[in-house]
Structure 1
């Protein structure tokens, strides 16, 4: 075989490309596998939380640029920021949300299919409860999202697991987060559209609420279908009030498997980066055949205005990517 100088050059270029990909992969490390993820931005640092070791508590990762993620880096052993020894619950630690009020950090979370709120002086934890209790034990409640509304009230968006399905409700929280205000619960979202029950399941699912307020309107982002279904997807609804009524968007779902070519995208949270760009952090199935461990991803999005002047969420499919440990 006659190998020319040009052939040798081509082989050398291909080898260099192969080696560079290997270096990039080595620098990236493993894909992060937190389900039901949330990203909290504070003082120039991004903190990533989610469901992983559900019988122990919550891990936390951090990044300065949304690209390189360090962790887990929680203050507790093994990188936990919340451990079951210091809070309510002993299993089923799911779907955390972290927020800041009056200089203190709070984590709303699910455990034992109830909702509790712990606090810390650091986003790395440890998040603890002086009184280890759920905010209510009236029935099964999961997927909390605490929203401090412009009207001065604090609302808890949550999912009730009962009567044939998972439905999203909102209830006013007491000022000290110790419990719910009696008689203040309103139904927000239940599965009524075809995409929200793609497999015609007897038990319907709407879950994973996130609230964004913008220019006087309230946007409720949520996921529908069972999380184990490849049809798990994200939609949103709009209201002029934090308690509704809610109008579902005509363009739902806005995030789904056909768009990303991976199954089960959903149950995430909205956040703004340092440039003011809206982002949605979410999980996908592990691969085409396996649900868990679910992978953590981010996609860019914006509130776009149509020809009629109505605003709605639009995502940028080419921007989505998984998050990797450094």
Structure 2
């Protein structure tokens, strides 16, 4: 069993600290991705779920495949806090506590569930182990008692510390698919290249009514291995006019700086969505609200909802802002990237358009892409048009990305595309219902290659697991 522990222990040891007997616990950082959790004082017994209840059971190489699946979890972004963690099962449910008992349930997205399913990592009883403190009951930790798992009030004893400590080890059921590209629930991904490196900016998902409050940034050199750069903008402390509905960010580079365009709503007062812009000196932030007010007010233009901003910069350096749900709008941005002439705003809504506009250019031709249908529908999909300029006129070409029910992929949409530096290789980032049990508020981010025919039309993208 120690050999299995060593496979993951090195990733944890750098961030976990040895606890001094009777001393205070210190925060620990966990690697995201698939793991199994072995009890430190019950070698060979692992956290698993059976009949929805959490318990500590023996697992060996000869155990049934279902047992191995039940003893495998994906460590993801904390549903209630990005500084803590949630544990997702292979069936798409989450480890949570209810009446102090540990169990697994599907994510309802409400504040109570998110808190119940979030755990903060602290030092375990031995070097390289961790204890998991309840987010909403911080004095309680996951503990095994008669092999059942509970959140029990912390006791300053060696026995309690041992019963509540676990080693993160190699998963009994290894990952068999390439997606999602970032573990956990993220949607509306905007992908870009800055200084030869890929950056991904998604909506933090898993909230009822999409009520998330913050954005994170991820970066990669190969589109496979991603670095989590943490929270780059939080509506709570960082945006005076919005405190929820942190949706669909997009980042552009100009003037030696980086501009984050985002949607926001308020919990009280004006609940309609508005668009803002934040600025930073690095693509990973931190970003600050550039204006202290919305860039586009909810009542500024008649028709449609002010969400889903996107910026395209042409070869001549001129940038254009696109946005809108129900109605698509576009306008030239001023050189400061934070203002425009409202009289120049154009309606550019193509047939079938719902939301999520995205524009790019290839071989002198402009492509306008968007999402059709509702993001809660399995028929959410991506279509596109082509045109002679960043403002059209646009000729519809058809649907290029949609569901694959035969492999359980649903709701493929709200995409962005990126060209690999120095090549004609293109990739499309998008969200789908989390596989296998996701829905319109439990979504995950995927990336696939996007190819073109000789006439410049886009070949249908086959979404992959």
TM-score by structure 2 length? Answer: 0.54
Name the CA shift for 1:272/1:22 in 2 (closer, same or farther; >3 Å): farther
Residue in 2 that maps onto 1:294: 443
Which of 135, 141, 146 is the aligned partner of 2:311? Answer: 146
Mapping of residues 1-326 of structure 1, within 5 Å: 22=172, 24-25=174-175, 31-52=183-204, 54-71=211-228, 73=229, 79-84=230-235, 85-87=237-239, 88-112=241-265, 113-137=273-297, 138-139=300-301, 140-150=305-315, 152-159=317-324, 161=325, 166-190=326-350, 192=351, 196=352, 206-249=354-397, 252-258=398-404, 261-274=408-421, 276=423, 277-286=425-434, 287=436, 290-305=439-454, 310-317=455-462, 320-321=464-465
For residues 27 and 229 of structure 1, what CA distance do their matches in structure 2 show?
24
Indicate if the aligned counterparts of 2:321 and 2:333 stay in contact, CA closer than 8 A.
yes
Decide whether the 8 Å contact of 1:262 with 1:288 is kept in 2: no
Number of aligned positions between the proteins: 277
Structure 2 distance, partners of 1:64, 1:129, is 28
Runs of 4+ in 1 over 6 A off after TM superposition: 18-21, 26-30
Deviates more, 1:284-293 or 1:61-70: 284-293
Cα distance in 2, alignment partners of residues 122 and 285 from structure 1: 31
Residue 177 to residue 70, structure 1, CA distance change in 2 (3 Å): closer
Query: In the alignment, is the contact (CA less than 8 A) between 1:136 and 1:180 conserved in 2?
Result: no
SS in 2 for 1:270: strand
Distance (whole Å) between structure 1 residues aligned to residue 408 and residue 366 of structure 2: 30
Cα distance in 1 between the residues matched to 2:356 and 2:296: 19
Higher relative contact order (CA 8 A, sep 6+): 1
Per the alignment, in what secondary structure is the counterpart of residue 183 of structure 1? helix
Deviation at 1:98, TM superposition (A): 1.2
**What is the rounded CA distance, in whole Å, between the counterparts of 1:173 and 1:42 in structure 2?**
20
| Alpha-carbon shift at residue 261 of structure 1 (Å) | 4.6
Whole-Å separation in 1 of the counterparts to 2:255 and 2:245:
29
Given the superposition, is the C-alpha separation of residues 269 and 206 from structure 1 closer, same or farther in structure 2, using an over 3 Å criterion?
Answer: same
Q: 1:142 to 1:302 in 2, by over 3 A?
A: same
Measured on the aligned residues, the alpha-carbon RMSD in Å equals 2.9
For residues 289 and 131 of structure 1, the distance between their equivalents in structure 2, rounded to whole angstroms, comes to 36
Separation in structure 1 between the aligned mates of residue 438 and residue 308 of structure 2, nearest angstrom: 26
Preserved CA contact (<8 Å) 1:86 1:132: no
Name stretches of at least 5 consecutive residues in structure 2 with no aligned partner.
Answer: 1-60, 69-169, 206-210, 266-272
- CA separation of 1:62 and 1:182: change in aligned 2, threshold 3 A: closer
Secondary structure at 1:68's aligned position in 2? coil
Go from structure 1 to structure 2 and tell me whether the alpha carbon gap of 1:65 and 1:152 turns closer, same or farther (over 3 Å shift): closer
Distance of 1:80 and 1:209 partners within structure 2: 25
Greater C-alpha radius of gyration: 2
